[in-house]
Chain A
Amino acid sequence: MADTELEDLKKTPLYPVYQEQQIRLTDFGGWALPIQFTGIMDEHKAVRTKAGLFDVSHMGEIFVMGPNATDWLNGLVTNDVTKMEVDQAQYNAVCKEDGGTLDDLIVFKYSNERYLVTPNASNSEKIFNWFQQHASESVKIENCSDRYGLLALQGPASATILRSLTEAPFESLSSYTFLPEATIAGISGILLSRTGYTGEDGFELYLKAEDVPALWKALLDNGEAYGIQPCGLGARDTLRLEAGMALYGHELSEDVTPLEGGIGFAVKTTKEADFIGKEALASQRKAGLEIVSRGFELLDKGIAREGYTIVDTEGEEIGTVTSGTKSPTLDKVIGMARLKKAYAKVGTEIVIQIRKKEAKAKIIKKPFYKKENREGQKE
């Protein structure tokens, strides 16, 4: 990408590092970020077998504070915030009244009066505005997205690499819990969370923007002996897809409810508090879904890409591919589809229109990959 084109894009704190190392950058939803450093396959495999480091500083960070923070937030998100412990993280959706998904995001609880919400980059502004529209006097909403960066250290060697750089007691963290103020590589005030978007063990590190380059370097330098690789957004996408995780703009959108998008586990229609979209989601759940999100495996040759039409064996249109690629770990072509419930059963044969050809596929279980089933972990 030419420098003139890059000028208009938003930049993460690592932009100077990318420039210096001449890493090719792409316009990713208005952000200048690398799709890959060495290659998507290599990076993907590093995360599955060793470790990978991602710059996801484009993600948003919104603080919600005040004596009424818990109840207020609980009225805007689909999961049950009142069930959260301090230092716990929770996956959530934010919906419109009609149940359409405005974003999927993680809520971090510091205390009953202080939460961090981390929307997707492309929805960050929208969610902040949505929160403000529904603001109450007893909460303060602060968009700190420009002041914070985020690095994701993912893969089986993540804990070992982190251990060489911190005294913080992160080993005791279970999945979706965090340390609010860790010091890593001499950098203090880092939110160290055992979360990720790859299906591997790993950590997400939220920190002040100006500290990002130093932490990036320290993790890569210390991780070198353990096979760490810097990873781009390409591998992030193939990893999350293998792990069966939804991606906003693909499986989820304002026209898709979280139930239809495959994240119904984060929708607590039985929680006591009212929340925006509750009525629509409860009634959709009660009536039963007509459209669902499912995983498939391609049986014929080809790659099923987002937007391709799915038909049944009679040729009748039944859905659309929302994500698809060749799985680097499983060596088969996988994808996710939005399709009619009648075709959602595991084993059902479907047909995907790939350009002029028709390719057979079948519904299989998500996630496609589970770390517990990993082979050759010690290699």
Chain B
Amino acid sequence: MTDKKVCLFSKDHEWVELIEEDHVRVGISDYAVEQLGDIVFVELPEVDSEVLKEAEFGTVESVKSSSEVYSPVSGTVAKVNSELEDKPELLNEDAFAQGWLMEVKTPGPFSKADLMTYDEYETYIENL
């Protein structure tokens, strides 16, 4: 399970976990999931497709609404959490473990620029 305290966060509520120097796992925060409510559908990118930092890479839909998710990194999609296709509710159950969205291979070492630490993110959402 991903320890959320070691994750980095974007302002759009995505989290990033460093797996290797040039390989990260991406998801959305428990705060984002709570705002969305019961999640019923997740649309993810194709493996091997390119994602761009701050560009949309998928959609998370709750009963009530549809929300785009934005990639916190640029790179190539190495893996997607295909379990979410049949069990989107895994995101509600645990956004930091079974609810991860994709893994991205970055062209060079992963850059933490513009991302927040867990503590910074906590402060950020408190002030929203």
By a beta-carbon cutoff of 8 Å, the part of chain A in contact with chain B is 35-36, 39-41, 44, 234, 237-238, 301-303, 305, 325-326, 328, 333, 355
* Chain A proximity of B90: nearest CB distance (Å): 14
The CA of A210 and the CA of B101, in the complex, are separated in Å by 48
Query: Which of B37, B40, B41, B59 meets A36, CB within 8 Å?
Result: B37
Q: Is the CB of A238 within 8 A of B63?
A: yes
| B41 contact set on A, CB distance < 8 A | 301-303, 326, 333
The CA of A39 and the CA of B91, in the complex, are separated in Å by 14
Query: Which of A234, A305, A333, A355 meets B37, CB within 8 Å?
Result: A234
Q: Is the CB of A35 within 8 A of B64?
A: yes
Chain B interface, number of residues (Cβ within 8 angstroms):
12
Q: Is the CB of A326 within 8 A of B37?
A: no
* Chain B proximity of A170: nearest CB distance (Å): 32
* Chain B proximity of A324: nearest CB distance (Å): 10
* Chain A proximity of B89: nearest CB distance (Å): 9
- A sample of 8 inter-chain contacts (CB < 8 A) reads A35-B64, A40-B63, A234-B37, A301-B41, A303-B66, A326-B40, A326-B61, A333-B41
The answer to whether B119 has its CB under 8 Å from any CB of chain A is: no
* Chain B proximity of A356: nearest CB distance (Å): 10
The CA of A96 and the CA of B72, in the complex, are separated in Å by 51
Give me the 5 closest cross-chain CB pairs, A-B, nearest first: A326-B40, A41-B38, A40-B63, A303-B61, A234-B64
Q: Is the CB of B43 within 8 A of A328?
A: no
* Chain A proximity of B60: nearest CB distance (Å): 11
Q: Is the CB of B85 within 8 A of A234?
A: no
| A40 contact set on B, CB distance < 8 A | 37-38, 62-64
| B64 contact set on A, CB distance < 8 A | 35, 40, 234, 237, 325
Question: Binary interface profile of B, 6-44, with partner A (CB < 8 Å = 1, else 0)?
Answer: 000000000000000000000000000000011011010
Question: Binary interface profile of B, 66-89, with partner A (CB < 8 Å = 1, else 0)?
Answer: 100000000000000000010000
The CA of A234 and the CA of B35, in the complex, are separated in Å by 13
* Chain B proximity of A175: nearest CB distance (Å): 27
With contacts A36-B37, A303-B41 known, is A325 near B59, CB below 8 A? no
- Extra contacts besides A301-B41, A302-B41, A303-B61 (16): CB < 8 Å: A35-B37, A36-B37, A39-B37, A40-B37, A40-B38, A40-B62, A40-B63, A44-B63, A234-B37, A234-B63, A234-B64, A303-B40, A325-B63, A326-B40, A328-B63, A333-B41
| A36 contact set on B, CB distance < 8 A | 37
With contacts A40-B64, A41-B63 known, is A301 near B85, CB below 8 A? yes
What is the chain A residue whose CB lies nearest that of B128?
Answer: A2
Q: Is the CB of A39 within 8 A of B66?
A: no
| A302 contact set on B, CB distance < 8 A | 41, 43
What is the chain A residue whose CB lies nearest that of B64?
Answer: A234
* Chain A proximity of B92: nearest CB distance (Å): 8
What is the chain A residue whose CB lies nearest that of B85?
Answer: A301
| B37 contact set on A, CB distance < 8 A | 35-36, 39-40, 234
Q: Is the CB of B38 within 8 A of A39?
A: yes
| A325 contact set on B, CB distance < 8 A | 40, 63-64
| B38 contact set on A, CB distance < 8 A | 39-41
What is the chain B residue whose CB lies nearest that of A237?
Answer: B64
* Chain B proximity of A340: nearest CB distance (Å): 26
| B59 contact set on A, CB distance < 8 A | 355
Q: Is the CB of A326 within 8 A of B66?
A: no
Query: Which of B43, B66, B85 meets A305, CB within 8 Å?
Result: B66
| A41 contact set on B, CB distance < 8 A | 38, 63
| A39 contact set on B, CB distance < 8 A | 37-38
Q: Is the CB of B85 within 8 A of A326?
A: no
| B40 contact set on A, CB distance < 8 A | 303, 325-326
The CA of A305 and the CA of B61, in the complex, are separated in Å by 10
